[in-house]
Amino acid sequence: ANTKHQASTDGDTMGSDTNTDTSPPPTTWQESTSDLSSWLSSSSDASQSNKATTAKIEKACADILSSSTNNNDELPEAVRRSTTTIYLRALIKLGKYGAVVDYCRQREDGNNVEEEAYSLYRLRNYEACRQLCAANGGGNGRGLMHIYAQALYRLGETNEADAIYRQLLAGDENPAMMDADEREDALSNALANRTANYTPGSLLDATATNKKTWLEEDDFLQQLLASYGTSSNKENDEELLQNYDLAYNFGTYLLVSSDARDQSHVLGVRHLLEHAETSALTILESSSTSPEENEEDE
């Protein structure tokens, strides 16, 4: 798991010349920010967001960050910070994770720890990612907490990852700012962590007063099992589970830890997994384009 970071071979870390626009290049950072704003507006529209637009954003940011140095045109610190963040996230979107790590390590200002940690994670350098997160508080900000927990999970440090997910989902870090999708993602990842590293018999401790984990007591997961974990709820059979991946991870965890459960519970989990599979196949099929439609589009 400890893949060592290597310098990026994607080219100059300050961006590549992918802009085919024939208009005169901007000469000041103010002109570059004007171009950047228009491309950011375009990228916010999902129908127009593409790799070419992201590459333009990357180059515009690189021009802004380098122009103030080359032309003695002082760049305000607030502009520099925001431009750097946009630049690094454009690199991430383009898959240039090595370039992100290189750039952050060259600056050493500690302003973009989340982008560096995420890139280390995507490079599968989980140990370096873990160390970086831990050195910056680990639990300082939800984004970094998600990355830290995932790195710990990949390293097999189940209890440590579980503690961070529990803190995230308990709402200690600005609960009002966590939307339903983020919460479901965190629940799904927490369940994957528990499933991958489950120790048979760990829930059978005779001294334990409660053999359920905190995850099983989550209100949302309990409702999910109650609604879709029994064949008697016919009214839900035709309703698709949009969060089928979460249902799958929950059902899988309950099956893996079935040594602590009775037979009726296992049968309920089976029904939940069947419903998740049906929903996944239906949703994926409806979202894919048929070969005939592709030919018409061409």
Which pLDDT value is given to residue 170? 85
Look at the chain and count its residues: 298
Between CA 150 and CA 189 the distance in angstroms is 8
| 28: exposed, middle or buried (Cβ count in 10 Å: 0-12, 13-18, 19+) | middle
Three-state SS for 206-237 is: CCCCCCCCCCCCCHHHHHHHHHHCCCCCHHHC
Q: Is 159 exposed, middle or buried (0-12, 13-18, 19+ CB in 10 A)?
A: exposed
Q: Give the lowest-confidence range in 22-26, 158-162, 211-215.
A: 22-26
Work out the average pLDDT over 138-142: 72
CA separation, residue 245 to residues 186, 228, 249, 270 (Å): 12, 14, 6, 15
Least confident residue range of 52-61, 137-146, 185-194, 250-259:
137-146
268 residue type, one letter: G
CB 90 within 8 A of CB 57: yes
pLDDT band at 6 (very low <50, low <70, confident <90, very high): very low
Instruction: State the CB neighbour count (10 A cutoff) for residue 274.
Output: 14
Distance of alpha carbon 108 from alpha carbon 57, whole angstroms: 23
Q: Is the pLDDT of residue 2 over 80?
A: no
Q: Is the dihedral of CA 286, 289, 292, 296 positive or negative?
A: positive
Say whether 60 sits in a helix, a strand or coil.
helix
At residue 125, the pLDDT reads 98
Average predicted confidence (pLDDT) for the chain: 77
- pLDDT given at position 289: 52
CA neighbor of 185 nearest in space, from 150, 158, 212: 150
What average pLDDT does the segment 130-135 reach?
Answer: 94
User: How far is it, in rounded angstroms, from Cα 155 to Cα 274?
Assistant: 31
Least confident piece of the model among 101-115, 220-234, 282-296: 282-296
Burial environment of residue 155 by CB neighbours within 10 A (0 to 12, 13 to 18, 19 or more): middle
Model confidence pLDDT, tens digit, residues 48-77: 458 888 888 888 888 888 876 555 567 788
Q: Helices 244-256 and 219-228 sit at what angle, rounded to 10 degrees? A: 90
DSSP track, 112-131: -HHHHHHHHHHTTBHHHHHH
pLDDT attached to residue 248: 92
